Structure 1
């Protein structure tokens, strides 16, 4: 037996459409909800809804879309999985080592099941939190996942909802927590039937994707419930440990209580009920510490947030790039500020935005663990014209790793960076409608033409070769210099795990000195010194106190009277 329900507040009639035919649903007294109990229905039953005589449409809360985003929904009983993680106590997102991966390109098979074959590798690397890019059902087979339209379903080519439960269970069994990327600020253009059911969108606000998700206009109570119930379901029924909330600055909400604050309070209540930590990690462009301040103190209650300013400061320091949003970055002093104070733009003028931006982070109220930092992520690679990873020497990659993994912040790796993967990570789609496919293709080329790129040089998102080129090549792990870089990452993560000095997340606990010309820098973390040669030639990095011994180094390094003699693009960790 199964009771089908759907919210369609403006409908005159709603029918449940089964493979055997249509059945009229009854309107309830509960604000536009319709329901019908079907004795013979249960796990595996296919169904759809017809609103006022429309063609059958997927359930806005569909748990399973086995035939794609335009097909029938399918009942999925989340209680059928026999969980084996009874001893899992959970993991706080703050301070955990994150590893961002995309299921469709992490392995050649592109499935959750195939990804489980590399979990032991991630454990040996030192990862603590697997951060999955979106798995909600999206059009076609291949895509980033940010154009999902069935937010309760798991993309069928990845293995569907049952595969996600197995993946999380397996992660917990080897000591890995799991964070899932969810997108609540917009839906994709293909397979989005929500507007046919009710006021899921509003013209009261606009976003880069069109009308905003309705968070504060008529009908918004149920839309907010649709979002919050989705998040709580991932935590409860799929036992996820954290959610990464995409581009929360695009959640247009003028309600007395912002959606994020509501979600924070409901997540905290569920966490208390389940007896394990549940995290909410925000991607925000606002540079506003209010994002991670308690709701009771006027904040939005997120557990942590990404810090793009740290990325930009480190990326420009290593690459020399200064175009676009990198314009204010690149100097050693800028990196030093982001290492100590989180944001460069904390109320200062942003040249790229053309106005003052951000707010300062109060070290008396905040810890470094509330901010995620990284040398790369899916956006900073995939949104480049060619989807190319940073063009750096192995030594420069090792420097980037050292500065992230010894920082007082929560570190995140992007899949493959730990061995300096040569594969790009490009923007790819698989839209079935020719007009939409062409719009995506021409839009991508038009975007980069403004930066001087020729159209023929931009990879076609619809070409299967664009996706295929983005799949990790695991054979590289046994080749030089990938092998040496991987060993460096493993050693750094092992050092971080056993060093109280490196796990100290008090803001200001990292002291930094540097050459104004950008040749070298030294980061002090308690009794440890991270010595970095940014120059391609060997040099002596001066130190006030000569280290007692070398802990580890990438490149030849030697303690001398004046400090440390270190190879070009070399980096070492030394003990005082």
Structure 2
């Protein structure tokens, strides 16, 4: 594996740096060691008598000193010295995660607890186990500038954020999660690198001259010199899976990863992951099943599905700005249940073109759904959660629909107990031009008036843990119902919709959601499992009158 690898007291080091002619590693207390360059542009070396914990830097062309871009630990941040670690952690494995069993809980480490680090997450693992989640999804932890960031501005792909607890803290979190049989999904960013602290650019053709993203330089996966870049990304995949025993990776914004190679980098990532019997999940806004298809596709295990969120959000809030302008009817929610993508080859007014493709008979467990996540909350100007945009009855309806959908549900931290604190965008850059650009961009594009560089934006986003016991109990019950009665990965047997109501029938349960007072004709018999403003029993060929609410019924055997 590229980078620093310590075996006993022997350090092996390699890095792809074809654009420079001389490279030395300067280890504190030991001195400088010149590395040899091979014909492919790699500098390599073996150094004896090296101990864990020693600090080092790289010396380029005998004149420029930089931290190691492949560093495993940056204890002093993105511009400080790198540190050598052993990378041998005693982390227990768990049985492989299965898509059909996933109930994901998304966490931003810095705002999840008062501590704002991995130990703060560990302290809540028993709570999460009791809630019923089977995996936690950790937002990116690759070293980013400063002390507070969403994590998508990381510049050291192998270094765990120092303010969260570094590699030792992350290893402890994975270990403690596994002891409770909770899987760990790590959010990784391979579509771009952050704009501050990017030292890779000094070494070689790591970044594309052909493709661009709104967030920063994109990796060169298909142009001259790209072999070394691809190896770095694939080694990074192996690093998280092999060293930290992470159970799955979530790939950020794969629609921004452009690769014209004979084998797409996403397919190669999937192959590396599957050799280890682990999972890989992609975020994409393309509505393209090619990402998850095994035949003629990339064979990613699952992908995020925004259409489900947009359909429910637009309907219950009435919002019609931006991409919500394409949604807003009860029929959109119905189609999301039946066909996954609402836009599966339909014309999108917002995009001004036909969007998406049908998924056909693909397993419904290949899609991840949510009613909130870091993007959908945090990219609002004021970071409002659904709890402040709707009343509690509507909130519980939305919760029921997605937690009892045929798809993989993902809970955004705090959602399960009706958290009302916002989740804003925040950053901690030191470059004044970047700071100015972020402030102006978030105000213009998202309407965020609170300075994203301020401590206020960060502290306002921290969970209050002011728990609404009614909502928390409801979530626990829904998860229990999902595990006991919901058929796994199957398209609903029947979905009906009327004026302000929708019903979804599966093999054993019937979900009826009414967004206003309604009279609803019933074709089934059953007893309520959980409900708000619904009768305890329903009878075939009868009509029930309900106010706004939701009922989940266990159907009687025929």
How do residues 414-493 of structure 1 correspond to structure 2 at under 5 angstroms?
A: 414-448=412-446, 458-474=449-465, 476-477=466-467, 482-493=468-479
Q: Are 1:540 and 2:519 counterparts?
A: yes
Gaps of 5+ in 2: 1-9
Identify if the C-alpha distance between structure 1 residues 282 and 510 changes in structure 2 by more than 3 Å, giving closer, same or farther.
farther
Instruction: State yes or no: 1:495 paired with 2:481.
Output: yes
Deviation at 1:209, TM superposition (A): 3.2
Q: Counterpart in 2 of 1:549?
A: 527
| Match in the other structure for 2:406 | 408
Contact 1:25 1:35 in 2 (8 A): no
Q: 1:382 aligned to 2:378?
A: yes
Aligned residue in 2 for 1:213: 219
Name the counterpart of 2:16: 7
Cα-to-partner distance string for 1:34-91 (whole Å, 9 max, x where unaligned):
1233223231111111222343212221110101011111111111x233x25x2221
8 Å CA contact 2:184, 2:247 repeated in 1: yes
Closer, same or farther: CA 372–121 of 1 in aligned 2, 3 Å: same
Aligned equivalent of 2:490: 506
Deviates more, 1:40-49 or 1:180-189: 40-49
Instruction: Tell me the residue number matched to 1:521.
Output: 502
| Corresponding position: 1:575 with 2:558 | no
Contact map agreement 1:95 1:411 (CA 8 A) in 2: no
Residues 247/54 of structure 1: CA separation in 2 closer, same or farther (3 Å cut): farther
- Counterpart in the other structure of 1:289: 289
Paired residues of 1:558 and 1:566 also in contact (CA < 8 A): no
1:251 is aligned to 2:263 = no
RMSD: 1.7
Kindly state the Cα deviation for residue 570 of structure 1 after the two structures are TM-superposed.
Answer: 3.9
CA distance in structure 2 between the partners assigned to 1:552 and 1:145 by the alignment: 38
Q: 1:68 to 1:6 in 2, by over 3 A?
A: same
Structural mapping, 1:307-346, within 5 Å: 307-346=305-344
Q: TM-score, normalised by structure 2?
A: 0.94
Matched residue count: 543
Q: Is 1:373–2:369 an aligned residue pair?
A: yes
Offset at 1:574? 4.4
Match status 1:566 vs 2:529:
no
State how far apart, in whole Å, the 2-side matches of 1:54 and 1:444 are: 38
Structure 1 consecutive aligned stretches of length 4 or more whose deviation exceeds 6 Å: none
CA distance in 1, matches of 2:385, 2:429: 25
CA offset at residue 111 of structure 1? 0.5
**In 2, Cα distance between equivalents of 1:49 and 1:563:** 75
Cα distance in 1 for partners of 2:369, 2:420 equals 22
State the secondary structure of the residue aligned to 1:387.
Answer: coil
Task: Classify the secondary structure of the residue corresponding to 1:205.
Answer: coil
Contact 1:92/1:278 (CA < 8 Å) preserved in 2? no
- For 1:281 and 1:222, locate their aligned partners in 2 and report how far apart those are by CA, in whole Å: 24
CA contact 1:407–1:510 (8 Å) conserved in 2: no
Matched, 1:187 2:193: yes
* Corresponding residue of 1:56: 65
* Contact 1:348–1:357, Cα closer than 8 Å, also in 2: yes
Q: Give, in angstroms, the shift of residue 550 of structure 1.
A: 1.5
Q: Does 2:82 align with 1:73? A: yes
Q: Where does 1:131-280 land on structure 2 (aligned, <5 Å)?
A: 131-269=137-275, 271=276, 277-280=277-280
Q: Cα offset for 1:213?
A: 0.9
Shift of residue 558, structure 1, vs aligned partner: 4.7
Counterpart for residue 5 of structure 2: none
Deviation at 1:483, TM superposition (A): 1.1
- Structure 1 length as normaliser, TM-score? 0.91
Q: Which residue does the alignment assign to 2:7?
A: none
Q: Deviations over 1:261-318 (max 9, x none)?
A: 111112222x2xxxxx301100011111111111xx2210100000001111111121
Query: 3-state SS of the aligned residue for 1:327?
Result: helix
1:347 and 1:215 map into 2 onto residues whose CA distance is 29
